[in-house]
Amino acid sequence: MTLAAGSGMVYEGSLPLLLEPVAALPPPSQLTLVNESNELLLTNVLMMDDKHEQGGEYDELLQEIKRQDIKLRLVMDLLGMLLMQHNLLPQPSAVRFSGEQLSLPDGRHPEIVDGGFAKCSLYLDASVPKPLVLFAQANGQETVSGEEWRLFAFTGTGQAVQDLLEKFIFRQHRRTVAQQRRH
Protein backbone atom coordinates (compact mmCIF):
# COMPACT_ATOMS: atom_id res chain seq x y z
CA MET A 1 0.00 0.00 0.00
CA THR A 2 2.36 2.74 -1.02
CA LEU A 3 1.08 4.96 -3.82
CA ALA A 4 2.95 8.23 -3.33
CA ALA A 5 4.06 9.73 -0.06
CA GLY A 6 1.23 11.59 1.62
CA SER A 7 -1.55 9.82 -0.27
CA GLY A 8 -3.19 8.57 2.94
CA MET A 9 -5.21 5.38 3.28
CA VAL A 10 -5.52 3.29 0.11
CA TYR A 11 -8.41 1.21 -1.25
CA GLU A 12 -7.27 -2.00 -2.93
CA GLY A 13 -9.73 -4.22 -4.73
CA SER A 14 -11.59 -4.95 -7.91
CA LEU A 15 -14.13 -2.44 -9.18
CA PRO A 16 -15.75 -1.65 -12.53
CA LEU A 17 -13.56 1.04 -14.08
CA LEU A 18 -13.41 2.81 -17.42
CA LEU A 19 -10.31 4.89 -18.18
CA GLU A 20 -10.43 7.03 -21.31
CA PRO A 21 -7.68 9.31 -22.64
CA VAL A 22 -8.63 12.98 -22.95
CA ALA A 23 -6.69 15.76 -24.65
CA ALA A 24 -6.99 18.13 -21.68
CA LEU A 25 -8.96 18.80 -18.54
CA PRO A 26 -12.47 20.15 -19.03
CA PRO A 27 -13.03 23.87 -18.40
CA PRO A 28 -13.54 24.96 -14.76
CA SER A 29 -17.31 25.32 -15.19
CA GLN A 30 -17.62 21.68 -16.29
CA LEU A 31 -15.26 20.52 -13.52
CA THR A 32 -17.54 22.25 -11.01
CA LEU A 33 -20.54 20.29 -12.31
CA VAL A 34 -18.56 17.03 -12.23
CA ASN A 35 -17.44 17.74 -8.64
CA GLU A 36 -21.02 18.51 -7.56
CA SER A 37 -22.23 15.25 -9.11
CA ASN A 38 -19.38 13.31 -7.45
CA GLU A 39 -20.12 14.92 -4.09
CA LEU A 40 -23.78 13.90 -4.31
CA LEU A 41 -22.88 10.35 -5.39
CA LEU A 42 -20.34 9.86 -2.58
CA THR A 43 -22.75 11.32 -0.02
CA ASN A 44 -25.45 8.89 -1.15
CA VAL A 45 -23.12 5.87 -1.19
CA LEU A 46 -21.89 6.73 2.31
CA MET A 47 -25.43 7.34 3.55
CA MET A 48 -26.56 3.95 2.21
CA ASP A 49 -23.70 2.45 4.19
CA ASP A 50 -24.71 4.14 7.47
CA LYS A 51 -26.18 1.91 10.13
CA HIS A 52 -29.39 3.00 11.80
CA GLU A 53 -28.97 3.06 15.57
CA GLN A 54 -31.75 1.59 17.67
CA GLY A 55 -33.22 3.75 20.35
CA GLY A 56 -36.25 3.62 22.62
CA GLU A 57 -39.54 4.86 21.23
CA TYR A 58 -38.27 4.92 17.66
CA ASP A 59 -37.57 1.15 17.42
CA GLU A 60 -40.69 0.41 15.38
CA LEU A 61 -40.01 3.27 12.98
CA LEU A 62 -36.37 2.22 12.64
CA GLN A 63 -37.39 -1.36 11.89
CA GLU A 64 -39.68 -0.12 9.11
CA ILE A 65 -36.88 2.06 7.71
CA LYS A 66 -34.55 -0.97 7.73
CA ARG A 67 -37.14 -3.08 5.87
CA GLN A 68 -37.55 -0.38 3.23
CA ASP A 69 -33.77 0.00 3.00
CA ILE A 70 -33.37 -3.74 2.38
CA LYS A 71 -36.00 -3.67 -0.37
CA LEU A 72 -34.40 -0.65 -2.03
CA ARG A 73 -30.94 -2.26 -1.90
CA LEU A 74 -32.32 -5.42 -3.50
CA VAL A 75 -33.84 -3.43 -6.37
CA MET A 76 -30.59 -1.48 -6.85
CA ASP A 77 -28.52 -4.70 -6.78
CA LEU A 78 -30.78 -6.23 -9.44
CA LEU A 79 -30.48 -3.09 -11.59
CA GLY A 80 -26.68 -3.20 -11.26
CA MET A 81 -26.63 -6.89 -12.26
CA LEU A 82 -28.82 -6.17 -15.30
CA LEU A 83 -26.58 -3.35 -16.44
CA MET A 84 -23.50 -5.56 -15.98
CA GLN A 85 -25.08 -8.40 -17.97
CA HIS A 86 -25.86 -6.07 -20.85
CA ASN A 87 -22.31 -4.71 -20.81
CA LEU A 88 -23.47 -1.26 -19.81
CA LEU A 89 -20.98 -1.34 -16.93
CA PRO A 90 -17.29 -2.08 -17.44
CA GLN A 91 -15.93 -5.35 -16.07
CA PRO A 92 -14.34 -5.16 -12.62
CA SER A 93 -10.57 -4.84 -12.64
CA ALA A 94 -7.75 -4.51 -10.11
CA VAL A 95 -7.48 -0.98 -8.80
CA ARG A 96 -5.78 0.91 -5.99
CA PHE A 97 -6.69 4.48 -5.09
CA SER A 98 -6.49 7.12 -2.41
CA GLY A 99 -8.16 10.51 -2.23
CA GLU A 100 -5.35 11.86 -4.40
CA GLN A 101 -4.44 9.22 -6.96
CA LEU A 102 -5.25 6.01 -8.77
CA SER A 103 -3.00 3.04 -9.54
CA LEU A 104 -3.66 0.33 -12.15
CA PRO A 105 -1.66 -2.72 -13.24
CA ASP A 106 0.90 -1.53 -15.79
CA GLY A 107 0.34 -2.17 -19.48
CA ARG A 108 -3.43 -1.71 -19.40
CA HIS A 109 -3.55 1.74 -20.97
CA PRO A 110 -0.47 2.31 -23.11
CA GLU A 111 -2.32 4.99 -25.10
CA ILE A 112 -2.09 7.32 -22.08
CA VAL A 113 1.48 8.59 -21.96
CA ASP A 114 3.10 10.06 -18.84
CA GLY A 115 1.82 13.60 -18.46
CA GLY A 116 -1.32 12.77 -20.47
CA PHE A 117 -4.82 13.16 -19.07
CA ALA A 118 -7.54 10.57 -18.56
CA LYS A 119 -11.17 10.52 -17.55
CA CYS A 120 -11.72 7.85 -14.91
CA SER A 121 -15.25 6.46 -14.41
CA LEU A 122 -15.13 4.38 -11.24
CA TYR A 123 -18.16 2.43 -10.00
CA LEU A 124 -17.77 2.33 -6.21
CA ASP A 125 -20.90 0.32 -5.42
CA ALA A 126 -22.43 -2.37 -7.63
CA SER A 127 -25.88 -1.38 -6.38
CA VAL A 128 -25.38 2.20 -7.61
CA PRO A 129 -24.89 2.09 -11.38
CA LYS A 130 -23.52 5.63 -11.53
CA PRO A 131 -19.76 6.19 -11.69
CA LEU A 132 -17.59 8.55 -9.77
CA VAL A 133 -15.99 10.64 -12.54
CA LEU A 134 -12.49 11.87 -11.86
CA PHE A 135 -9.86 13.37 -14.11
CA ALA A 136 -6.27 12.27 -13.68
CA GLN A 137 -2.83 12.80 -15.14
CA ALA A 138 -0.55 9.84 -15.83
CA ASN A 139 2.26 10.15 -13.35
CA GLY A 140 4.82 7.34 -13.61
CA GLN A 141 4.87 3.91 -11.99
CA GLU A 142 5.27 2.16 -8.66
CA THR A 143 6.20 -1.39 -7.74
CA VAL A 144 3.81 -3.26 -5.45
CA SER A 145 4.69 -6.81 -4.36
CA GLY A 146 7.01 -7.17 -7.35
CA GLU A 147 4.40 -5.95 -9.87
CA GLU A 148 4.47 -2.68 -11.79
CA TRP A 149 1.47 -0.38 -11.36
CA ARG A 150 0.78 2.79 -13.33
CA LEU A 151 0.05 5.94 -11.31
CA PHE A 152 -2.53 8.60 -12.15
CA ALA A 153 -2.76 11.75 -10.01
CA PHE A 154 -6.28 13.13 -9.65
CA THR A 155 -6.58 16.69 -10.88
CA GLY A 156 -9.46 19.15 -10.79
CA THR A 157 -11.03 17.27 -7.87
CA GLY A 158 -12.71 19.47 -5.27
CA GLN A 159 -11.70 19.25 -1.61
CA ALA A 160 -15.19 18.06 -0.57
CA VAL A 161 -15.00 15.19 -3.09
CA GLN A 162 -11.51 14.27 -1.92
CA ASP A 163 -12.65 14.26 1.73
CA LEU A 164 -15.70 12.08 0.94
CA LEU A 165 -13.56 9.71 -1.11
CA GLU A 166 -11.15 9.35 1.81
CA LYS A 167 -14.12 8.70 4.12
CA PHE A 168 -15.33 5.98 1.70
CA ILE A 169 -11.86 4.40 1.69
CA PHE A 170 -11.68 4.51 5.50
CA ARG A 171 -15.06 2.78 5.80
CA GLN A 172 -13.99 0.07 3.37
CA HIS A 173 -10.81 -0.45 5.38
CA ARG A 174 -12.78 -0.60 8.64
CA ARG A 175 -15.17 -3.15 7.11
CA THR A 176 -12.25 -5.32 5.94
CA VAL A 177 -10.67 -5.24 9.39
CA ALA A 178 -14.01 -6.17 11.03
CA GLN A 179 -14.44 -9.11 8.65
CA GLN A 180 -10.90 -10.33 9.35
CA ARG A 181 -11.55 -10.19 13.09
CA ARG A 182 -14.71 -12.28 12.70
CA HIS A 183 -12.73 -15.03 10.98
- Condensed to tens digits (0 to 9), the pLDDT of residues 42-52 reads 988 888 776 54
pLDDT, mean over the chain: 84
Confidence tier at 154 by pLDDT (50, 70, 90): very high
Would 5 be classed as within a structural domain? no
Write the pLDDT tens digit of every residue in 157-176: 999 999 999 999 999 888 88
* Count of domains observed in the chain: 1
Write the pLDDT tens digit of every residue in 55-99: 555 677 777 877 787 777 777 767 766 766 666 778 888 999 999
Would 84 be classed as within a structural domain? yes
Would 164 be classed as within a structural domain? yes
pLDDT higher at 149 or 48: 149
Would 1 be classed as within a structural domain? no
pTM of the model: 0.78
Assign 3-class secondary structure to 28-83: HHHHHHHHHHHHHHHHHHHHHHCCCCCCHHHHHHHHHHHHHHHHHHHHHHHHHHHH
**Residue 36 lies in domain:** 11-50+59-182
